[in-house]
Amino acid sequence: MSDPTKPVTMEQIAALAGVSTITVSRALRDSPSVTPATRERIKTLAEAAGYRFNHHARNLRLRRSHMVAVMLEMQPDTDRPMTDAYPLQLLGGITQELTSRGYSVLLSALQSPGQGMAASADGVILLGQGAHGSAVKSVAAMGLPLVVWGAEHGRGDAVVVGGDNAHGGASAAERLMALGRRELLFLGDVRHAEIRDRQQGFAKALKKAGLKAQTLTPAAFTFGAGFTAVQAHLAGLGRSGKVPDGLFAASDLLAMGAVRAFTDAGLAVPEQVSVIGYDDSPAAQSFAPPLTSVRQDWHHGGVLLARKVLDLIAGHDAASEIMPTELVVRGT
């Protein structure tokens, strides 16, 4: 290893074994989700590298705290408070299921997942994957049973629950094309797996009709960030630029910011520009005009997250699950 004075980490063992960090964690916990041959190979590599397994922490977990840590990959913002439907509806489903099964919930923002009370939890639910999956990698290093709200990466590194983002994007594209919209924008940060899936579903459906959309990347998942991104795009069009007549945003807050930017620029919504959001939040329903949006069932998603982490805690297998999405047509 690189520095003999520093303890060997799970990430280093994972690199040696050519597997993910969570696979190393599962192997060292003798999880049945890892084949016996792989478990033995990882343990041999760990021993040879001088990895010190935290037997004290493992023993604490075997005695069970009957607590699940729920971590939010979300920075509080006055423009995107934690009192919004996301994450509260997910938390409602999680709490309902865990408390009915005799478990308590420890809620925290993602900061130092290897420290504090979360380390003594029986398992972790992570809400949000982070750009390039950074949050998943960080939390997986804790070595606890882990379930993630988000999008599958295709490698099976973690158990994931989420909405069918690609279908949601495709349904938005089909709606905009049915309205005759042709100069299209996608508004969202595709470094995040969920957003990338929405953009790819949107782009794939457009491609079948010979269309494509320009992607705008907002600075955050907020009303203000959506407004600023669209305002800057419109300001940079110049005389020869084609004015957009349709926009699909990766969240309702971004969509509402886009609507404000269009109207401030003198473009009427929906007469001149159609806008579609994502999440079907209560704010979307009360927005003026009421926002067309892709709906996903967050409460049921929370229930599924809780059930799957409890399965992992009990030593059972758990599979990723993708829930259906549907377009709710309103006034934009």
Residue showing tokens 């600075």: 219
Residues 193-240: pLDDT tens digits?
899 999 999 999 999 999 999 999 999 999 999 999 999 999 988 766
What integer pLDDT is reported at residue 87 of this predicted model? 80
Token reading at 88: 């509260």
Maximum average pLDDT range among 14-18, 28-32, 102-106, 263-267: 263-267
Pair 224, 79: CB distance under 8 Å: yes
Pair 141, 113: CB distance under 8 Å: yes
Rounded CA separation 309/33 (Å): 13
Cis peptide before 289, with omega less than 30 degrees from 0? yes
Which of 73-82, 275-284, 309-318 has the lowest average pLDDT?
73-82
What integer pLDDT is reported at residue 80 of this predicted model? 57
Token reading at 193: 């797996």
Compute the average pLDDT of residues 311-331. Answer: 92
Closest to 278 in 3D by CA, of 296, 261, 300? 296
Burial class from Cβ neighbours inside 10 Å (0-12, 13-18, 19+) for residue 300 reads middle
Determine how many CB atoms are found less than 10 A away from the CB of residue 49: 13
pLDDT confidence band for 116 (50 / 70 / 90): low
Compute the average pLDDT of residues 314-326. Answer: 91
Q: Which residues contact 319 (CB under 8 A, 6 or more apart)?
A: 159, 308
pLDDT confidence band for 3 (50 / 70 / 90): low
Residues 131-172: pLDDT tens digits?
777 788 878 877 888 999 988 865 456 899 999 999 999 999
Give this prediction's pTM. Answer: 0.80
Quick check: 83 pLDDT over 70?
no
